[in-house]
Structure 1
C-alpha cells in the first residue's frame, strides 16, 4: 500500500474526527487516537468507520509520561509500518481569570496542550528522522493572537507556547526532510468545545463585573461560530497533500483558518507595527552602544 498513514490525536470529536473522515474518504489510512477508547469506538461506529480497513483506533493519553508515550507511538508505527503525518489535535480550553486560576490551573492546561503535544511529537520524530520524511501538524488557535481577551489567559498562553516551539522545530527538522505546519483556526462550529466551562473555585469579587461580562458574551457563541469544520479539515488535508486549493502552492509554515483568525492576526501585527512606528521608537532604538566608525 502506498497511501499515507496519518496519526491524529483527539479523534473522538471535533477537528480530529472530521479530519479522520476526510483522510479515509481520500483512500488514505489513519490511526485515530483518544484517551477514552470506549468513547472513540462509539464515535467511529456512529460515522461508519469503526471497522473500516483503513482505520485503526488507538488509545492514547497525551498526558502520560514521556517514556510511556514513546512506547505507545512505537506500537502505533507497527500498525502499518509508518507514520507519514502526525496531527497534534488533542487539547482542551479552560476559561478563567488569571489570578483565580493561578499556576495550578495553568500547569494542568499546559500538561495537555503543551507538554503532551511536545511529548507526542518527540515520540514520533525518531521514526520520521530515520526515514528522512514526515509532516507534523500542530493545531494551535487564533486565541494566542487575541490574548488580551479576559478569561482566555491560560489557554492563549499554551497555544502561544506551541507556536513558538513549533517555529523552532520547523527550522531544526527541515534539513531532515520533515515539515511542520502550524494551524491557527478561528471559531469553528464543533461539538463540545465549550464543555470545560469556567474555573470558579477561587472567585475574587473584584473581577465579578469583568467575569460576568465575558460569560454573557461567551455563552452566546456556541452554535453561532462562523467556521465550518468540514471546510476547515479539508483545508488542512489539501495543504498536507498538496491537492485541491493548495495545489501548486509553496509550503506554508502557518495556516490561518477563518475570517476571525485573519482579523485577530492582522490586529496584533498592526498593533505591534504602530508601536514601533510611534514616538516610542526613539526609546526602542536608543539603548545600543554607539556605532563604531
Structure 2
C-alpha cells in the first residue's frame, strides 16, 4: 500500500475528544484506526473517509490483556504499522472517595489507567521494532487540581526514549464534549457527614451536563488540532521543543500554575526540615 502519512490508533473515538481528533488527523492526510467499545457507535464516523485512510474497529480497553493484544495485532495489520497511539478512552464518575470506596476507585482505574496500560503495552513492541512512535495520553488537568499526579506517562517516557518513542501527556481543562460528564454518581454508601460536600459536587456536575455556563468550556476541535500540531511538529508547534506535558485551556493553565506555586511554597517553608536529614560523618 502506498504510504500516506502517519497511522494513528485512537481509543474512545466514537465521541468527544476522540471523535474530534480522528477528524483532525484525517484532515491532515494521515490514516486513522478508530476504536470504541462498540463498533456500532463508529458507524457514522466510517463514512467520513475511504477505507484506504480510515478503519473502524471494536476495542474495549477493559478487556483482558490477551484480547487487547489480538485487537492491536489486527490493527497493525490494517495499514502495516501504528505510528501514533492515542489513549483517549475514559470517563468521569462523580462521587466522593470514601463513599465510592475501593469498588468505585477500581471501576475508574480499570478504564482510565489500566485500560491505557493494556493498550500501550500491546502497541509498544511494534514501535520498538521500528524504533519509532508516539504515545499520547489524553488526561485531565484534574490530576493537578486534585493533587493526584499521574506518573505512568512520565516513567514510560524515560523508558522508551532509547527506542525513539516519544510520550505526550495531554492535560485539558473543561471542553464542550458529549459523554464525559454523563456518568451517574457511583451508587455507594452515603455518609451524612459529606452531605454538603456531595451536594456541591453534584451541583457542579449538573452545570457541566446542562451546559448552562458555556463560557466555562473550550472548543474540543481546536484542542485536538493542537494535539495533531504537536505530534507532527506543524502549525503552532513548529520550531518548539517536544513537551512531555501539553496543557490545553486557560483553566488548566491556572490550576497547574497554582499547583506549582503550592509546591514551591511548601519547599520554601519546609526547606530546612527537608535538608536536615543528612547522615552525620
TM-score, normalised by the number of residues in structure 2 = 0.94
Distance in 2, Cα, partners of 1:185 & 1:52:
31
Corresponding residue number in structure 2 for 1:245: 236
**Counterpart check, 1:167 vs 2:166:** no
Distance in 2, Cα, partners of 1:250 & 1:282:
35
**Counterpart check, 1:89 vs 2:76:** no
Corresponding residue number in structure 2 for 1:5: 7
How far apart are 1:90 and its partner, in Å?
0.3
How far apart are 1:66 and its partner, in Å?
1.0
Distance in 2, Cα, partners of 1:57 & 1:50:
11
Gaps of at least 5 residues in structure 1 are 149-156
Distance in 2, Cα, partners of 1:207 & 1:127:
48
**Counterpart check, 1:216 vs 2:190:** no
How far apart are 1:216 and its partner, in Å?
1.9
**Counterpart check, 1:137 vs 2:127:** no
Distance in 1, Cα, partners of 2:114 & 2:126:
20
- 1:198 pairs with 185, 192, 199, which one? 185
How far apart are 1:5 and its partner, in Å?
0.5
**Counterpart check, 1:63 vs 2:62:** yes
Distance in 1, Cα, partners of 2:20 & 2:201:
29
Instruction: Describe the superposition over 1:102-140 as per-residue Cα deviations: whole angstroms up to 9, x where unpaired.
Output: 111111111111111001001000000000000100111
How far apart are 1:52 and its partner, in Å?
4.9
Distance in 2, Cα, partners of 1:202 & 1:50:
47
Map 1:259-278; keep pairs closer than 5 Å. Answer: 259-278=250-269
The count of corresponding residues between Structure 1 and Structure 2 is 275
Q: Secondary structure at the match of 1:7?
A: strand
- 1:28 pairs with 23, 27, 30, which one? 30
Q: Secondary structure at the match of 2:128?
A: helix
Instruction: Describe the superposition over 1:20-43 as per-residue Cα deviations: whole angstroms up to 9, x where unpaired.
Output: 00111111100000011111214x
Distance in 2, Cα, partners of 1:70 & 1:229:
30
Q: Does structure 1 conserve the Cα–Cα contact (< 8 Å) formed by 2:94 and 2:205?
A: no
Runs of 4 or more consecutive aligned structure 1 residues displaced over 6 Å after TM superposition: none
Q: Does structure 2 conserve the Cα–Cα contact (< 8 Å) formed by 1:41 and 1:50?
A: no
Q: CA RMSD in A?
A: 1.4
Distance in 2, Cα, partners of 1:108 & 1:220:
24
How far apart are 1:218 and its partner, in Å?
2.9
Distance in 1, Cα, partners of 2:72 & 2:170:
22
Gaps of at least 5 residues in structure 2 are none
How far apart are 1:285 and its partner, in Å?
2.0
